[in-house]
Amino acid sequence: MMEDELARFDKSINEFGNKFRNTFSDTRCQMVGLRDVFKDSIEALAEKLSVKLKEEEQMIEMFLEYQNQICRQNKLIQEKKDALLKLITEVKDKKQEMEVLTAKIQDLKEEYSRKKETISNANKANKESLKRLQKSADLYKDRLGLEIRKIYGNKLQFIFTSIDPKHPERPFMFSLHLNEARDYEVSDSAPHLECLAEFQENVRKTNNFSAFIANVRKAFTAMVYN
């Protein structure tokens, strides 16, 4: 009985061992298979992640390049904007300068017109004065032996004769013109008369030219007799 029970026990033990070994072997094979599948899955996933990572790196590089391009474009736009503002400022300054220059030109034109009118009036007055002098000269020539000539510098030269009884043709002369103030100015008397400056002041005050001519002739006559 004991031997039979021991034999059955050993058989049971052996069957359990065989069964365990078979089960362990199957489980080990399954684990190895699962490990290989997991390894393959990990490698495939790593490869996909690597590809995805490269794509993302490329996208980041493209994004950075686009960002740099945008920065360059913004910088260029700002430079163009600054240049345009500078140009607008220069145009405004030039416009203001042109307005000032136009106003100055207008002032010069008006001043030129006034001066032109003043000169024209002065020339007209001078011509009228010369006409009066010439008219008087014709009378003086016949009565006083006076000849009036127009000489260089818009001057009139007055020449008296018939003063010296011994030499009736001997000339006594002086020159006269109107200065910028349109006053009589006497010069170049021959022979020299000391009183000519006084006569000049009198004719400026009185504007009595006939009296002036008469006084000059009297002064020349007095010089001859003295």
Q: Are the C-beta atoms of 176 and 200 separated by less than 8 Å?
A: no
Residues 6+ apart with CB under 8 A from 133: 148, 156, 209
Model confidence at 53, pLDDT cuts 50, 70, 90, reads: confident
**What span, in angstroms and rounded, lies between the C-alpha atoms of 200 and 178?**
12
Tokens describing residue 115: 């001066």
Higher model confidence: residue 20 or residue 190?
Answer: 190
- pLDDT cut 90: percent of the chain above it: 23
Q: What average pLDDT does this structure show over 83-109?
A: 88
- Among 193, 199, 200, 201, smallest CA distance to 220 is for 193
CATH number, domain containing residue 144: 3.30.457.50
Is 63 domain-assigned?
Answer: no
Is 181 domain-assigned?
Answer: yes
Q: Which domain holds residue 187?
A: 134-225
Higher model confidence: residue 8 or residue 193?
Answer: 193
Residues 6+ apart with CB under 8 A from 132: 209
Give backbone dihedrals phi and psi of 188, rounded to 5 degrees, phi first: 55, 50
**What span, in angstroms and rounded, lies between the C-alpha atoms of 206 and 225?**
28
Is 10 domain-assigned?
Answer: no
> Quick one: pLDDT at residue 200?
94
Is 30 domain-assigned?
Answer: no
Provide the domain count of the chain.
Answer: 1
The pLDDT tens digits of the residues spanning 106-122 come to 988 888 888 888 878 87
Is 169 domain-assigned?
Answer: yes
Is 79 domain-assigned?
Answer: no
Is 193 domain-assigned?
Answer: yes
Q: What average pLDDT does this structure show over 173-192?
A: 90
Is 221 domain-assigned?
Answer: yes
pLDDT at 133 over 70: no
Higher model confidence: residue 34 or residue 200?
Answer: 200
Residues 6+ apart with CB under 8 A from 189: 173, 174, 175, 196
